[in-house]
Amino acid sequence: MRTNKITRRSFLLGLGAVSAAAVLTACGSSSSTAASGAASGSTASAGGDTVYRTLDEIKADGTVNIGVFSDKNPFGYVDENGEYQGYDVYFANRLGEDLGVEVNFVSTEAANRIEYLQTGKVDIILANFTVTPERAEEVDFALPYMNVALGVISPDSNVITSLDNWNADDQMIVISGTTAETYLVKNYPDIPLQKYDSYATAKNALENGNGVAWANDNTEVIAFAKQNPGYTVGIPSLGSQDTIAPAVSKGNTTLLDWINDEIKSLADEQFFHKDYEETLVDTYGMDYEDELVVEGGVTNA
């Protein structure tokens, strides 16, 4: 199995394409327009708006297109050698191996994950995708492989420990298309949000003091605090406890069923614990392993 390696030039071009796609999404572009880039041989869903490749079509092509983050260390990122790395990438490589096909990684931003599935640009999304009822109306989620909640990180000089009695002049940094944005809009509508399209720009905004705090997946903000002295996760768990799962296009049952069977079978070898120890332990240590990892698609809740 081959995983693609990207040069610095192609990586930057790819990020430019993702940014362009995000602009189109923000302007309300239709899925039929974006679908012009869909893989050939895609099957239209019953509704006619979503396109996808079935399991047999993927196997016949010999390549599976998997959407991952390219700037969200340690879950999905591109290293100094131009190689995709991280917890989601480790899982993606195993899917490709067991499918008997090559993996083509497609860099995505949070706001583009659903669009990339609906237009057939990717077959699977493994971009730290939190399961929500709203998203489940647009894509089909497989069994979970990780637990997650929201968290809030802020500088040590002004640690945010509560969202109550928020100063109306202060802004909260969020990433567009994430559960943090949705949660804050619904539950704290008076908190001004400063929205960014990528994890890299959100991190830069926090470092530059553009907002007083950053709300995102607790796994991400905990990792940031451990890697960057001077920041504290004052709110380590905000809102409900959720799960991370692979997603496929709505109605792509053959691929969905295969992924579910794969996740169940991987439990026999404690695959996701191995994944954690290979990709996350340097960031989180061993204390978080059993709290974060889900084996066989079965949560403790």
Rounded CA gap, 262 and 265, in Å?
5
Number of H helices, E strands in the chain: 13, 15
Query: Do 271 and 131 have their domain in common?
Result: yes
pLDDT attached to residue 15: 42
Task: For residue 239, name the pLDDT band (cuts at 50, 70, 90).
Answer: confident
Query: Do 152 and 227 have their domain in common?
Result: yes
Query: Do 77 and 136 have their domain in common?
Result: yes
Query: Do 195 and 250 have their domain in common?
Result: no
If one compares 218 and 264, the residue with the highest pLDDT of the two is 264
Query: Do 124 and 203 have their domain in common?
Result: no
If one compares 206 and 39, the residue with the highest pLDDT of the two is 206
In eight-state DSSP terms, residue 78 is E
The 10 Å Cβ neighbour count of residue 251 is 16
pLDDT attached to residue 83: 97
pLDDT attached to residue 13: 41
Query: Do 168 and 194 have their domain in common?
Result: yes
Query: Do 160 and 271 have their domain in common?
Result: no
Whether 147 shows a pLDDT value over 70: the answer reads: yes
Please state which of the ranges 15-24, 46-55, 224-233 shows the lowest mean pLDDT. 15-24
Instruction: Give 11-77 as a DSSP string.
Output: HHHHHHHHHHHHHHHHTT--HHHHGGGSPTTPEEPTTSS-EE--HHHHHHHTEEEEEE-SEETTTEE
Report yes or no on 296 lying in a domain.
no
Query: Do 236 and 152 have their domain in common?
Result: yes
What pTM was estimated for this model as a whole?
0.76
Domain that holds residue 131: 55-145+245-289
Whether 210 shows a pLDDT value over 80: the answer reads: yes
Q: What are the tokens at 257?
A: 């069923």
Region 37-54: what's the mean pLDDT? 66
Q: What are the tokens at 10?
A: 């192609």
The burial of 134, by beta-carbon neighbours within 10 Å (0-12 exposed, 13-18 middle, 19 or more buried), is given as exposed
Query: Do 216 and 86 have their domain in common?
Result: no
Task: For residue 37, name the pLDDT band (cuts at 50, 70, 90).
Answer: very low
Whether 120 shows a pLDDT value over 90: the answer reads: yes
pLDDT tens figures, 59-102: 999 999 999 999 989 999 999 999 999 999 999 999 999 999 99
Report yes or no on 5 lying in a domain.
no
Domain boundary among 204, 224, 241: 241
pLDDT attached to residue 12: 40
CA angle 288, 110, 138 (to 5 degrees): 105
Q: At 284, which CATH number?
A: 3.40.190.10
Query: Do 279 and 234 have their domain in common?
Result: no
Report yes or no on 186 lying in a domain.
yes
Number of domains in the chain: 2
Query: Do 93 and 128 have their domain in common?
Result: yes
Report yes or no on 257 lying in a domain.
yes
Query: Do 235 and 152 have their domain in common?
Result: yes
The burial of 258, by beta-carbon neighbours within 10 Å (0-12 exposed, 13-18 middle, 19 or more buried), is given as buried
pLDDT attached to residue 301: 57
If one compares 27 and 262, the residue with the highest pLDDT of the two is 262
Report yes or no on 40 lying in a domain.
no
Report yes or no on 39 lying in a domain.
no
Report yes or no on 28 lying in a domain.
no
Report yes or no on 226 lying in a domain.
yes
